[in-house]
Structure 1
């Protein structure tokens, strides 16, 4: 005899299975931020006040500024500043990399010497280094190349001829910056996963190839932002070379306003040029960081230019 079972308490009626009705009379009110608007209005008023003051105050002497901004003497000083920055950056990068690798080496002598160099040059002012180097000829009037601890000399140069104003400034700033660069690079290398070191060593790769082909490319993601910050600081630090009477940008501006007595306009000339250099370096930093981020992000964020193009396309379609 077949057994018939019947579920009790369950019905498939449309009334019970239909989703609850949504009240369409509700009005969604977006969040309001009144203090944000107040702050924006205050910032706009301050900005307009600054612009009005710059435009209406005749003591800024914008005509004098325009006259000297592209003057040949100023451009020559600007070129000297850029060349000095480039030379000091190259020297600090090469020397700083060597110091960082020496500190991480297994040799106690190399690690100790690198630590001593970094300790010494981070402990004294850059101005003191430049003055000592500029007077180095007092200690050694000749620079010789030959066999150590013997009288055999292959080449010899006068210290005064070798250590010119530009050479002293580039060497002093480069040696000072190398101490900071070494610590930046060392920190970036230590930030790489130790498994990368172990995997590269397990493959039998030489130490130099492990460092320059595997470790450093990954470390550059964390090295690049701080390194560019140091380069920007070095651009402004070149102004300290005025103590050597080297005609870089700041010294040139000083000479001009001492002669013309137009102090503020000439200082604004130097300020704008430093701002332009820093802006270019900041833009370069953005794209360098974006380049090294390719191995860490699946999809890179849009650049400001790409975002502007997308916004223009949306406006054109709308």
Structure 2
């Protein structure tokens, strides 16, 4: 009987080979990486050695009291505005998903207005609200009965105007993110909860939102970083944030570039710190171990 030689196979079922595996060399990648490093090094060298950068001024104002006070205002505005945005965003998102045409229409109008106008315009509008309404009154609508009245410029100062603009604007964007996350949850989950006798509010809180968080967290994390940087816009109404305080300084000493570097360094630090809880939340709700 003729015998045949069969190729040896390993345990995985693939043919064993005595030839060594040679990794494919990507010379283009190595050359591109080298060029990128040279360019980056050249930029950093030129930036760091530029005498107009004025490192002593940067060091002097990096931890100065007015810088830290502005930094605190920036953090406070970011946290409170995001809290307003999240709370209002859930409400507006639920209204947009409602079967009631009035609620759906009002919420759609709100999102249309605040998403369709620039944030800078909204900040200026709230900052000069006193030019539109000289007095803020609380009373019975469509009557002359008034319970409280005060000058609008006294009630809505620069910080309050900044908070109103940032928070109300964020509601529009957060509502769209939350609405998309809710719609991403299988409709059968809601139907099963209703079959068990759960109320719509309980279903939303216990069933829908926890599952929607997987889709909501990443874009909302980006919104927090965007909000942090958007607080710099309140400098147009002297909101006493980080950039506003530094602008007041370089308007007097003309050290524009060094003080802008100070602001940029702090924004980079805060953005990096905000990425840590975002990563944890993504792992938490994404099921990663």
* TM-score, normalized by the shorter chain, greater than 0.5: yes
Kindly tell me: are residues 205 and 23 of structure 1, through their superposed partners in 2, closer, same or farther at Cα, counting changes over 3 Å?
closer
Aligned equivalents of 2:259, 2:181: Cα separation in 1: 41
Structure 2 partner of 1:59: 52
Aligned equivalents of 2:163, 2:218: Cα separation in 1: 23
Q: Secondary structure at the match of 1:246?
A: coil
Q: Secondary structure at the match of 1:122?
A: helix
Kindly tell me: are residues 24 and 219 of structure 1, through their superposed partners in 2, closer, same or farther at Cα, counting changes over 3 Å?
closer
Aligned equivalents of 2:18, 2:187: Cα separation in 1: 60
Correspondent of 2:274 among 272, 277, 281 = 281
Structure 2 partner of 1:219: 212
Unaligned runs of at least 5 residues, structure 2: 10-14
When the two chains are superposed, the root-mean-square deviation of aligned CA atoms in Å is 2.2
8 Å contact 2:159–2:240 — kept in the other structure?
A: no
8 Å contact 2:94–2:179 — kept in the other structure?
A: yes
1:148 aligns with 2:141: yes
Correspondence 1:8-47 to 2 at 5 A? 20=8, 26-47=19-40
1:99-142 per-position Cα deviation (integer Å, ceiling 9, x unaligned): 11001111111000000111111121222222222222233333
Aligned equivalents of 2:18, 2:241: Cα separation in 1: 72
Structure 2 partner of 1:85: 78
Deviation at 1:79, TM superposition (A): 0.9
Unaligned runs of at least 5 residues, structure 1: 1-8, 301-318
Structure 1 partner of 2:176: 183
Structure 1 partner of 2:244: 251
Q: Secondary structure at the match of 1:157?
A: strand
Kindly tell me: are residues 95 and 28 of structure 1, through their superposed partners in 2, closer, same or farther at Cα, counting changes over 3 Å?
closer
Structure 2 partner of 1:128: 121
Structure 1 partner of 2:201: 208
Deviation at 1:30, TM superposition (A): 2.2
Q: How many aligned positions are there?
A: 284
Deviation at 1:16, TM superposition (A): 6.7
Kindly tell me: are residues 20 and 134 of structure 1, through their superposed partners in 2, closer, same or farther at Cα, counting changes over 3 Å?
closer
Aligned equivalents of 2:226, 2:259: Cα separation in 1: 21
Kindly tell me: are residues 17 and 271 of structure 1, through their superposed partners in 2, closer, same or farther at Cα, counting changes over 3 Å?
same
Q: Secondary structure at the match of 2:149?
A: strand
Deviates more, 1:155-164 or 1:192-201: 155-164
Structure 2 partner of 1:313: none
8 Å contact 2:85–2:168 — kept in the other structure?
A: yes
Deviation at 1:88, TM superposition (A): 1.2
Structure possessing the higher radius of gyration over alpha carbons: 1
1:219-263 per-position Cα deviation (integer Å, ceiling 9, x unaligned): 111111111111211111111111112221111111111211111
Aligned equivalents of 2:137, 2:116: Cα separation in 1: 29
8 Å contact 2:8–2:16 — kept in the other structure?
A: no
TM-score with structure 1 setting the length: 0.83
Deviates more, 1:162-171 or 1:58-67: 58-67
